[in-house]
Structure 1
Amino acid sequence: MASEEQEITERKDLNPEVSPEIKPDAEPTDAVELNEEPTDTVELESKKEPAEGVDSASEPTEQGEPESNQETTGLLEPGPESTATPEASTPEPAAESVAEPADAGEPVAEVPDADRDEAAPQPPVATEMHADPTEAVELELEEVTPAADYSQLSRADMVALLEKNLASLKTDTVSASDYRRADEVLKELRPLFDQSKASDRADALQRYIQETGSEEGFEFKQDELVGRFDSLYKQIKDQKNQYFQQLEKAKDNNFNVKTELLRRLRELVEADENNAGDPKTSWNGFKHIQDEWKAAGNVSSPHNATLWATYHALVDRYYSNRNIYFELKELDRKKNQTQKAELCEKVEALVQANEGSPVTKAVIDEANALFEEYKHIGPAPKAEQEVLWQRFKKALDTLYDRRRGQNEEIRKEGAQLYDEKSKLYEELIPFTSFSSNSINDWNEKTREVMTIQDRWNAIRGPMPRDEGKDLSKKFWAALKQFFHHKGEFFKQLEGKREQNLKAKTQLCEEVEAILESGEESAETTQKVIELQRQWKTIGQVPEKFKDTIFERFKAACDGFFNKKRSRNQEVEKEFEENLAKKIALCERIETVAASGNADLAQLNDFKKEWAQIGYVPKKDMQSIQKRYINAVNSFVGANGKISPKEKERLTLENEAEMIRDTGSSRDLYKKEGDIRRKMTTLENDIAVYNNNIEFFGRSKGAEKLRADIDKKIQAAQKQLDDLKHQLKVIREAQ
């Protein structure tokens, strides 16, 4: 009766995660003196109020502890005794969960009916045992770790990150949490990588459309990073799935192993109770079963609590029958005390080593490993049990508190980054509705948008996971919307460029028709020039036709003007020959005039010869005419047989002939009008000067002003005389 009630008592407060407090080990209720018989009632401890800030290192209340000189339970033992019997005081279940009775779910071990009370407690127990008491600690710390902002990574950086994660998953120390973190990274990177691919394709398509004018024939080739990313993505997914499948298989196998160990332990206990076995052999077999139990891994949560409860109950029964080995248990407790003290020193050294520096996940993992080792060590002497646990718990709490403080700082920093990026998103929103018909306006807005994007990328650091992810999606969606509108504008622009291409093609055909006709008249030349002017007024054509249509038009125009220029070169050569003839004629006239043997009959011959010579280059026309006039005037002046009046007549006549030869009557009238206007202006200036000079006094300063005015009058009079002479010549020419 006593052993059955003790098995029930051992089921209480086994879960260190949900119970108010955690104590890895404590004294069993049946740890009586060697000569003391166990009672029929098992004392239970009333439920304690949970301490504030319960964490993974909190401890349950004690109920009892089996006697052992080595590792006894492999998990957390119940707490100290109380004075109430199960009938008098039944503890309330913990707030979160209670241990399930064996018949409420899947059976965890096949046990005889006589022993069913080992697996099914009668009163409600406090909690249900977790498969891994450190699991809640790790989950809590992971939940408060903000996600990194991967939106700023390039595709090469994403591939490098996956390669690093894959390498870390191939180590011997990889854990389930490592695979969960790797899977979170995949979930974050997949949409960002796909978005980057889509963005590159859209940019390539836009450049292709700008170059070719349409989407036809567009092919986008992915770079090697895409294939590498997909391969790494699949490898990590496959490796994760394989790991968890193996983990589940291992849990199923562990369940079978522990079920078999319970069967062997039950046989050992029953044999011991019936005095059917050798005590020494029984002890060795018991310790061997304990070692195998400790070596066996976790099982599925629905079976874990029942297995542990049954295991504790059987161990308790065994120790109840092993009072003869109490001294061995005391020695074992002293050994456990030494081991636990060493673990306390290690975790305290870990706290000291990280004083003033961030508490990394590696430090937390190391602390959890020490906690895992601590909880598998059997109980220490009662006097030291609570002291050791409080010492160990204090060091763990210090590390966890620092870690939580760091998480709070990360949250604050993430919130600040979120606010900064939210402002950039607000700046970007007006650009999503921008519209214009000007390429320059679109280019200007694009530069502004790219500046906002650069500022976004310059803000580095993690944001709150859900809010940051949502903000990043909205920002990149707004960016994509702006460039979509820009793309639509350029599509419309391409339609206009197609019309411009048709117009320029028509101009090419017109110039080519003129070139084929062979016409080189002034009218056709003017027509080609007009077509060139029209070409300049037409806008741009599609990029892929830009060079070809221009070369076609240029070739047609160059062909026309080169042909015309070739003919002009022949005429120019003839003009040069005429210039040489006229220069030679002027030299002959000048020679005769200088000799003093000027004869009017000879002058008429010179004039006829001059008239027979054709045109000269335009640039030399005025200079050769002026030389010819001067030569003829010298020739006339050298003749002493004619009167001065006759000489003036001949000179005017000669100049008039030059004017008639070089200009039309319309030009003569125009030139006459210009001369008359200049004469009128000079006459008015002279009249004003003469009028002003009358107002000057006889002072020294006035004489100087009078002299200046006289010079101006003389210069104006000389110009007036020249104009009068030119007017006579023009009249003579008319």
Structure 2
Amino acid sequence: MQLLKLLKDKIQTTPILRLDKIAHEIKAAFDELISKEKEEALAKFKAEGGTEEEFEYRHHEEEREFLKVFNDFRYQLNSLRKEAERQKEKNLTAKTELLNKLRDLVDGEETTLSMSTIKAIQEEWKAIGPVPASQNRNLWASFNALMDRFYDNRSIYFELKELDRKKNLESKTELCEKAEALKDAPELKEAIRQLNELHEEFKHIGPVPREDQEKLWQRFKAASDAVYDRRKDFYEGQKEVYLQNQVEKEALIAQLATFADFKADRIKDWNTKTKEILDIQKAWEKIGPVTKEAGKEINKAFWAAFKHFFHNKNLFFKELDEIRAANQNKAEELIAKAEELMNNTDWQNTANQLVKLQQEWKKLGPIPEKNRDNLYKKFKIACDTFFENRRNSNKQSNNEFDENLKKKQDIIRQIHEAAKGEDLSENTLSELVSEFNETGFVPRKNIKEIQAQFKDAVDRYLEKMDPSGSGREDFLFRLNLNRIQADPNSTKTLNRKEHGIRKQITDLENSITLWRNNLEFFAASKTADKLKDQFDIKIKKAEEEIDKLKSKLSILKEF
């Protein structure tokens, strides 16, 4: 989350006591973002049938981390402020004790150590840091009044007092010269800092001769006013700069507006846009301040557009996570199916199923990166295991096919040899055909060739044998079925042949029924008798054909 990163960066690079305003701006933007997410989650919960009373918003990890960082910052800030206030109270106590010590010195009897003591008190007073603002003026008034009393009441040390005041006059005159030089200092900010240090030093130097006191103060004040006037002129001149800064910041806000409706389906596109918007943020931070009147609205508009983009980005990644999780579940299902099939020895059907699973795998969308490679590895191992097993099996099968080819070539040779002899019989041919059919598969490239050779050998045998009699047709039909059975697709062919025979029987039976119905309508006449005789012949032939077809069905059941 960009607001979290921004807050962390600011805490690391900006002094804690100067960070309060911008930290609260970031917190306000973050609260608005969370509020919007909560409203969207509630709307979705209601749309799914829930009620507002049942709704419970689950804080995500980024929110908890942001609140922890912000609360840590607030704790540090409050600690520093409390420590500063405690130190001011300690300083107040220390200065109050010094005032009491100074008061005792002023009200006490003069000694030779009075001047060294008063100087020590002055140095200690100067070394003590700031006190609560409400007590500062009274403390200084009391301190200066006591110092004046000390010098006024110690007549015995008048000359030393005057000498000391002259030294103070020299020191303060030197401070006036330094203050006057600051008017032309190239760096105004540095000049203001040095002037504040001169004022602090001026306060801690003791009194000067009364006749020079007002004149000296007016000189120091005039030098200070010259620097302050320069600062005033600078800020007046900065109005134009602030207005130009406002124009530049409004231009950046306009740029951000183009990101409001950005949508994309690829992470790369979101990352590209994120880089662009972060570049805009960097440009924003390089631009100086704007006028106080426009500052709040300008900042609000910029950060609202900024957070709107990242809100949409967060929604995209939430949806992407859901899609990835769903795709991971699909991948795991495909892996389970592949692992279930990998040791199957039904090579053709299993291969078809695995190829289909591979095609489904290619259609899968994105999967969580941490699991993607591992899931693909498991799926690939399952597929590779099956195809490796099939390759090993095919090597063994190829050897068997070669042996089968030799056996079938030998049977064909036996049929040719038998056809040359005189003792030809249906039984001999049937046995050779059965032996041929019972022999297993041959290499694919030799199937058509060996079938052609086998058909040619059987045809030559039949030509020489020339079977006759009532069983000739059944023999030829049975022989044809034997040849069909040698075909790898014999089951389908036999099923089609059975279906064709049954259809022929049905058609013939329907025709017989029709002819018999027609006979009932013929009247007694010579012409009608001739037609009846013709229909009787048709019916008889049809019944004979049905008997032959039923005989073929009986033979088919043997195969």
TM-score (norm. length: structure 2): 0.50
Q: Which has the higher contact order (CA 8 A, sep 6+)?
A: 1
Larger helix proportion of the pair: 2
TM-score (norm. length: structure 1): 0.40
